[in-house]
Amino acid sequence: PTPRTLLLTGAAGGMGTLMRGLLPRYGYALRLLDLVPIPDEPDAITADLADRGALREAVRGVDAVLHLAGISLEAPFEQILRANIEGTYNLYEAARAEGVRRIVFASSNHAVGFTPLPVGGEPLIPVDTPHRPDTYYGLSKAFGEDLASLYWDRHGIETVSVRIGSCFPEPTTVRMLSIWLSPADAARLFHAALTAEHVGHTVVYGSSANTRLRWDLSPARALGYEPRDDSEPYAAQLIAARGETAPDDPDRTLLGGRFCTDPPMRQH
């Protein structure tokens, strides 16, 4: 059955804003939470993931949580520790205490960023490839996946950890051609992750059905996800504008691309 009330953390962010627009059409009543106020959303909860009392109240009575909140790029370890590691722990503890049964966790390709990209006819990267985080940021996502595993085994809270590729309205780099997750497909995937039965703790890659896909999308499809988008129509123009990536460029050799060598830092 479709969960009715969904807590959306990180609702002020890029994906949170996109999902606020898309998820209501799947029948969800959204409760919004973010560190920063959300314009024109007077009922949104403005709270830090460090505030355990606020999280208890925020999850009380919801059917499920879509956990997008956190630092979404590389940052000093202490900041990642507080927002992503302790913050995700605080969310799971609140969910356990309030009896929430399902969480969808926004993991990232950067949990496995140092995984070499397959060449030629090599198999697609499976979801059970070992964690190889490329940053403290990716490390926090690996932690979040393991935390989800613990809370399933110990407390029966089900999680789908979605290793999101790049979710933006359009792909803007050549690397993104293989890992793009269109916003509409993101909503489809989150809906599948929220409604599939008996997921326990399931890890999936989150992308559209890109022609240049390098990872295995079948675990996501097994949840009932049917992607409709492909980045390929953007390819010719992007490559013409930016040039083909050099063969030894980390964007060509490693799943996490330049996060492995020169990660973009959070600016604020």
Binding region for ligand 15L (CB under 6 A): 72-73, 108-110, 166, 176
Show the site string, 50-79: x = touches ligand NAI by CB under 6 A, - = not: ------------------xxxxx-------
What is the nearest approach in angstroms of ligand 15L to the Cβ of residue 134? 9
Nearest one of 257, 237, 266 to 115, comparing CA atoms: 257
225 is catalytic: no
* 49 binding partner (options ligand NAI, ligand 15L, none; Cβ < 5 to 8 Å by kind): ligand NAI
Is residue 151 a contact partner of residue 191, using CB atoms and an 8 Å limit?
A: no
Q: How far is the CB of 176 from ligand 15L (least distance, A)?
A: 6
Give dist(CA 188, CA 181) in Å, integer. 10
**CA count, 13 A, side-chain hemisphere, 79:** 13
Task: Report the alpha-carbon distance of residue 56 to residue 253 in Å, rounded.
Answer: 43
Distance of alpha carbon 43 from alpha carbon 46, whole angstroms: 9
28, 137, 205, 225: the active-site residue: 137
The first and second tokens of residue 65, run together, are 């949580």
**Radius of gyration over every alpha carbon of the chain, rounded to an integer in angstroms:** 18
Using the rule CB under 6 A, which residue among 164, 192, 223, 255 binds ligand NAI? Answer: 164
Residue 171 contact among ligand 15L, ligand NAI, none, beta carbon within 5 to 8 Å by kind = none
**Contact flag: residue 182 with ligand NAI (CB under 6 A):** no
70's contact among ligand NAI, ligand 15L, none, with CB below 5 to 8 A by partner kind, is: ligand NAI
Tell whether residue 167 is a contact of ligand NAI (CB under 6 A): yes
Shortest Cβ 75–ligand NAI spacing (Å): 10
Question: Mask: binding to ligand NAI, 32-51, rule CB under 6 A, as x and -?
Answer: --xxx-----------xx--
Would you count residue 8 as binding ligand NAI (CB under 6 A)?
no
Would you put residue 137 in left (φ > 0), alpha (ψ -120 to 50) or beta?
A: alpha
* CB-CB contact of 11 with 38 (8 Å): yes
Q: Does 108 bind ligand NAI (CB under 6 A)?
A: yes
Q: Quick check: 106 binds ligand NAI (CB under 6 A)? A: yes
250 in contact with ligand NAI (CB under 6 A): no
Q: Which residue, among 54, 58, 56, has the nearest Cα to 7 in the 3D structure?
A: 58
Rank residues 110 and 188 by Cβ distance to ligand 15L and give the closer one: 110
Strand, helix or coil for residue 34: strand
DSSP 247: T
Stretch that binds ligand NAI, among 9-17, 121-129, 213-221, 248-256 (CB under 6 A): 9-17
- 266 near 72, Cβ under 8 Å? yes
Q: Which is nearer to ligand NAI, 3 or 16 (CB)?
A: 16
CA 142-148-153 angle, 5° bins: 130
- For residue 229, the 8-state DSSP code is -
User: Looking up tokens 């959070």, which residue turns up?
Assistant: 266
Supply the residues annotated as catalytic.
137
**Which residues make up the interface to ligand NAI (CB under 6 A)?**
10, 12-16, 34-36, 48-49, 68-72, 83, 87, 106, 108, 164, 166-167
